[in-house]
Structure 1
Amino acid sequence: MINKKFAFGYVLVSALTLRYFLTTQQIISQIRFLGRWEPFWHSNLCIGGNCKLAAAQCFTNYKCAQTIGCIQRCLLDNIDSEEKTAACAYICEMTYGYENQPFKDMINCMLDNKCLLEYPEDGPCKGSNADAITSVKTMEDIEGDWWVLRGINCGESPYPGGYDWYPCQHERFIKAAEGHWINNVTYCGGRHDKCTTDIIVTIANVSMPAPGVVNHKYTDAPLDPQEEDWRLVSMPHPDYALMLWCGRLPVLNYAGGIVISRHRDDSSMPKEVVQEFREVMSKHGIDWDKTCPSNNNHCPE
């Protein structure tokens, strides 16, 4: 049963603390939030009533408190565009909250007690395993380094998150010493080749359950489990491939697609490869000209 005094005290302390770290516009948004049961009152009363220990440990841990403050600012900055909140919060989690145990404990408690509400869907999932090419049968066939040159989830409806436009996206399909395969992924927050964070590292265990399908299970996801299926739908050249991907978090369905290459930019991409990608995208209802390009020449290895 919820301890109402503790819950109200938690909300009060949270509001008083955050006001020292908010802009005037964010304070106005905070006042607007006070009139909404979801997400403000639902989440805060739920945390105050069910996650007392986790909340106390989080707010006394600098990194955890910093992460929660960052996520709160995401909510306030996107009060009129809720579909963008999840992507903003993700960057908070992968920077300030990365591998922070008090934050993980807080999130797990929120998930267990349904304090964390479902985010709006980020993009329709395009394609299925049946659309994957059959010429790629094992992880060895795509082993090594790949750079993201173009993306589908660019930050505009129906893909508001912008996950495919993160700068410096570098995929490394590597066979670990233990015998399993991983994707060592690096990127930074931002868009249009401009980083707004330091380089972020994340690791996924990968496998190929069907030809051309690369399943990702992330080992360091703040919201766990995080799983994605990347489907190779075109590979007209050994150095270029088109992958459509669909992902799931406990509170979010999200999707996109990427053109990956052994090269850092698309200056040497053959015209026939571009034409092939255009045609394949068109079959899935995607316009090549609306994809977001990336140039990785400025990125670290």
Structure 2
Amino acid sequence: MIEVDHLTKRYGPHTAVEDVTFRCEPGTVTGFLGPNGAGKSTTMRMICGMTPPSSGGATVAGRPYRELPNPGREIGVLLDASAQHAGRTGRETLTLAARTMGVDRGQVAAKLDLVGLNETAARRRVGAYSLGMRQRLGLALALLGDPRVLILDEPANGLDPEGIFWMRGLLRDFADRGGTVLLSSHLLREVEAVADRLVVIGGGTVVAQGGKDELLAGAGTLVRARDQHALRLTLDRAALPATAGTDGGFVVRAEPGEVGQAAADAGLVLTELRPAGTGGLEQLFLTLTAGASTKEAVR
């Protein structure tokens, strides 16, 4: 299990992550989503003991990462596929890691085979690997110690469609055997296909979390009015949480009847009022994080 408890990270006056709390249960894949600069990688680095938090904490299997006696046997981590020694071969990279973790050397060949790196690739120096091959090697490293938990940041970068499909099956099988997976990816359709739960972060804070089916079913209500400014004020006064929709209007986290009643009480003329629809994870993501990437880019 992964438990993240009120994690906050500040760099001087800039708050990169603020009060982030969530749990990843055994037997599940949790999709960790957000626009660039939202705080995903910083949060994952704090979980893995690579970045000290300003406040709050995180545990894996009940202990902070740095207190695990042999972390690679408990948690497999892939945060940056390029952070590998370019002068070593793929086999040498895994062999050195196996010695460090006390893993039987027979696991090296097994994990290379599992991730689809054949003998020729294993003998090649990592500096000559494509990004997709580095991702596969990084995943082999993460799996080498037979951990119970995987934390993966953009593991499908550089993989072709067949490789992405293969990774989806591997992660699903890992979770179905009782493992815990925290997966960050910009490939929303792949996350939607494999994840059980979702944590969505925007501007350094969690904007939504819960079961995938629950979140996708509760996409909210799309509403437009002749006077959009007056509609915004009306929704705020009625305490109806709303975000600007990706195609105009507002998406409100409430039932259409409740939104329509608030508008009627305010004497507003609505031009559209309907369920936001079932646009899947992409629509949910864009609705929840509307404007977040722009704010981060100019901060």
Q: TM-score range by the shorter chain?
A: under 0.3
Greater Rg over alpha carbons, structure? 2
Per chain length, whose mean CA-contact separation is higher, i.e. which structure has more relative contact order (CA < 8 Å, sep 6+)? 2
TM-score, normalising length: structure 2: 0.25
